[in-house]
Structure 1
Amino acid sequence: MSDAVGTVGGTEDAAREAGRGARIVVRVGILAYGLTHLLLAWLVLRVAFGDRGSRADQSGAFQAIAQTTAGRVLLWVLALGFVAVALWRVGEALGRAGGRVKDARGRLESAGMAVVFAALTVLAVRTAVSGSGGEGSQAAAAGLLGIPGGQWIVGAVGVGIVVVAGFITVNGFRCTFTDDMSLPVDPRARAVAVRTGQLGKVAKGLVTVLVGVLVVVAAVQFEPQRANGLDAALKTLAAQPFGVVLLVATAVGLVAFGVFCAFDARYHRV
């Protein structure tokens, strides 16, 4: 009997250790997401001050990391964290119970984030292997526009992006992201976590709205080059009369989001 009890106890200990390890990897993935946004902020500033040849999106950020052997190793670490977050978010999307609107929104948000982190995983692995993230959303849009009904599909994708971006913006403005966090007790640390999350999510949401609008425009005008994701959106901002100011403000928002991710990695309930 004692041997059986010992075996059960050992199994429970092993399960707890495995769960602890999985949570650590998920937190690494959230932190990696923040690092990606800090790199994006740097690329945005480069575009703001005249470097229009730089690719200001996640692919550009990963390509910047992949310039050295150590950087490619880091990309594999980031990919591991991203896939852990993707799987965790899938579990959340499938496991949240209840039929209330709040539960439905929670499921939808988790499913959306699972897709985002799955895409980041693929992009990080592809860049680590080849040094390039691939042809990106422009090639995908061109392929879709070339099939029957392709304009409607691309247009629907653009509208979907705008809707998700609106949700991100409202989530940031209302600070509802704190519902899934055990915020720090220290009032100053709590204030920094909330304010960086608010500023970062609003900035991220507004830029994503522009991405969605450009995808819709690409569908309406049959111009796939407009559907080139974040890079095209930021360079569209750069071409405006106050482009430098808009891009610097965007970079500040992305830095805020990157800092928030450090808090989220520590205090998100995983």
Structure 2
Amino acid sequence: MAAKDTARDVGRRAAGHPWFHRLSRAGLAARGVLYLLIGWLALLIASGHGGKEADKQGALRAIADRPGGWAVLCLLAAGFAGLALWQFAEALYGRPLPQGRRKRMRFPAAFRGLTYTVGCVGTIGFLFGLGHTSSDQQSRAMSARAMAEPGGRWAVLAVGAGFVVWGAVTLVNAGRRAFRDELATDEMGPVAHWIVQPLGMVGNIARGLIGGAVGAFLAYAAISFEPDRAQGLDGVLREFAATPAGGWGLAVIALGVVTFGLYSFCEVRWRKVEAVEPQDDGPPGA
């Protein structure tokens, strides 16, 4: 027990170090760069000039094709590592929010930590020439492998339903402006409030719509038992162009993705990144 307590104390001190906070903010900047690039690629597709997939792989390829791209990719990988460590710290020690120690607050942080870990590993793999397949190909291949296993169809359906629920929650929270709870709003001036709030609302609405659409395609693939129906980020974005709104529909969503990228840079300045363990909000498992 003593060793466990010592390890926890060491981890808490590390999570509270200013350099850890800087690494977390660097990760938010890396996320912003990625969203800006994905949104830009989607805008190119909407205008009929897109040649790369509008997803993470397409964004990484766009970076790699530029001078100094390898160094930028290394920085992105380090940024995603920082995001993952930050979210795992929040899962372990609590979030800087009211009732931040409760499981319902810390579990999503653990899930985000896993997501950012996958992003970091994928970026490193890209650096070494691995994982160059698009998000659509990855989604279909993973769905096919899962459905080939006993009960895999229901697992894919559960994942799809999870994305749909996440998308719905994100949309509701965007409307409620719940993202403000994660920001140091007391440090903002009137102009910052005027800029950050609409960026957060529009950006999170776009994320919610895209996440819900990804989940809907996964769920449909599981229900119809057709793995090829699954879509990744690129496929989902292109589906918006297939709606009656056409390219304008995709352009609107793409601008929303760009907006979330800009909002991520606002989070670099004002996001609460201090993993805390409040003592006044009940037991950790409540």
Please report the TM-score for the alignment, with normalisation by the length of structure 1. 0.87
Aligned to 2:252: 249
Change (3 A) 1:242 1:28: same
Q: Any conservation in 1 of the 2:167–2:209 contact (CA below 8 Å)?
A: yes
Quote the offset at 1:80 in angstroms. Answer: 0.8
Matching of residue 190 in structure 1 with residue 188 in structure 2? no
The one of 138, 141, 152 aligned to 1:150: 152
User: Relative to structure 2, which stretch is displaced further, 148-157 or 33-42?
Assistant: 148-157
Helix, strand or coil: the match of 1:55?
A: coil
Partner Cα separation in structure 2 for residue 133 and residue 69 of structure 1: 19
Q: Which amino acid aligns with 1:167?
A: V
Aligned to 1:124: 123
Provide structure 2 residue ranges, at least 5 long, that are not aligned to the other structure. 1-12, 274-286
Q: Which amino acid aligns with 2:84?
A: A
Quote the offset at 1:257 in angstroms. Answer: 0.6
Partner Cα separation in structure 2 for residue 27 and residue 74 of structure 1: 16
The one of 49, 63, 66 aligned to 1:65: 63
Q: How does 1:74-223 map to 2 (within 5 A)?
A: 74-96=72-94, 103-130=102-129, 132-134=131-133, 135-183=137-185, 184-223=187-226
Partner Cα separation in structure 2 for residue 89 and residue 168 of structure 1: 18
Quote the offset at 1:267 in angstroms. Answer: 0.9
Q: Any conservation in 1 of the 2:156–2:222 contact (CA below 8 Å)?
A: yes
Partner Cα separation in structure 1 for residue 92 and residue 39 of structure 2: 33
Helix, strand or coil: the match of 1:136?
A: helix
Aligned to 2:24: 26
Partner Cα separation in structure 1 for residue 129 and residue 203 of structure 2: 31
Pairwise CA RMSD of aligned residues? Answer: 2.5
Quote the offset at 1:50 in angstroms. Answer: 2.6
Q: Any conservation in 2 of the 1:124–1:133 contact (CA below 8 Å)?
A: no
Partner Cα separation in structure 1 for residue 74 and residue 178 of structure 2: 32
Q: How does 1:44-59 map to 2 (within 5 A)?
A: 44-51=42-49, 54-59=52-57
Q: Any conservation in 1 of the 2:93–2:101 contact (CA below 8 Å)?
A: no
Quote the offset at 1:52 in angstroms. Answer: 6.3
Q: Percent identity?
A: 34
Partner Cα separation in structure 2 for residue 99 and residue 24 of structure 1: 23
Helix, strand or coil: the match of 1:130?
A: coil
Partner Cα separation in structure 2 for residue 146 and residue 99 of structure 1: 44
Please report the TM-score for the alignment, with normalisation by the length of structure 2. 0.82
Q: Which amino acid aligns with 1:141?
A: S
Q: Which amino acid aligns with 1:63?
A: R
Partner Cα separation in structure 2 for residue 91 and residue 101 of structure 1: 12
Partner Cα separation in structure 1 for residue 28 and residue 132 of structure 2: 21
Q: Any conservation in 2 of the 1:55–1:231 contact (CA below 8 Å)?
A: yes
Helix, strand or coil: the match of 1:269?
A: coil
Partner Cα separation in structure 1 for residue 139 and residue 175 of structure 2: 29
Quote the offset at 1:266 in angstroms. Answer: 1.1
Aligned to 2:3: none
Matching of residue 231 in structure 1 with residue 234 in structure 2? yes
> Which has the bigger relative contact order, CA under 8 A and spacing at least 6?
2
User: Relative to structure 2, which stretch is displaced further, 236-245 or 207-216?
Assistant: 236-245
Quote the offset at 1:74 in angstroms. Answer: 0.8
- The CA deviation string for residues 87-128 of structure 1, in whole angstroms up to 9 with x for no partner, is 111111122289969944421331232122112111211112
Aligned to 1:3: none
Provide structure 1 residue ranges, at least 5 long, that are not aligned to the other structure. 1-14
Helix, strand or coil: the match of 1:56?
A: coil
Partner Cα separation in structure 1 for residue 132 and residue 180 of structure 2: 33
Q: Any conservation in 2 of the 1:31–1:265 contact (CA below 8 Å)?
A: yes
Q: Any conservation in 1 of the 2:202–2:259 contact (CA below 8 Å)?
A: yes
